[in-house]
Structure 1
């Protein structure tokens, strides 16, 4: 799931997944962090979910995926769009 908060010239996008689906650590990777899994790991929120927030330029579009333990890549079913291999978020 994606949540957005508009700032002046940026949009804070929060990427949210259930706490244990999938098991183990998960990161959001995309063109906004050079596909680096160390940049945005999801952290527990105490409400049964985990998340990370990324500030992106307003009025832009970005490709992303999730990377879980065991080199398991997956898309966000609630993304704004999909471009074949990746999920897309629009700010």
Structure 2
């Protein structure tokens, strides 16, 4: 799930996943962090979901994916689209 909060010059994007699927640590990676795992790990929230919020430049197209423990890559079904290799969103 994706939540967006638009501000004047940026958009805060919150990436949200269930706490138990997939199991283990999950990071969101993409253009915004040079595809480096561990920079934006999802953490457990009070509602039992895992999430991380990343500030993105306004009016941009951002490619991203999730990387789970064990090298498991997966996409977000709520992405604005997919280009064959990655999901993307518009901020």
User: Is TM > 0.5 for Structure 1 vs Structure 2?
Assistant: yes
May I ask how many residue pairs the two structures share in their alignment?
Answer: 91
| Residue of structure 2 equivalent to 1:59 | 59
- The alpha carbon displacement at 1:85 in A equals 1.0
CA distances 1:45-84 after superposition (whole Å, capped 9, x unpaired): 0212100011111110110000000100000011111110
Q: Which runs of 4+ in 1 moved over 4 A?
A: none
Unmatched segments (≥5 aa) in structure 1: none
CA RMSD of aligned residues (A): 0.6
Q: In 2, Cα distance between the equivalents of 1:38 and 1:73?
A: 14
| Residue of structure 1 equivalent to 2:75 | 75
> If the length of structure 1 is used for normalisation, what is the TM-score?
0.97
Q: In 1, Cα distance between the equivalents of 2:89 and 2:48?
A: 23
State the secondary structure of the residue aligned to 2:66: strand
| Residue of structure 2 equivalent to 1:43 | 43
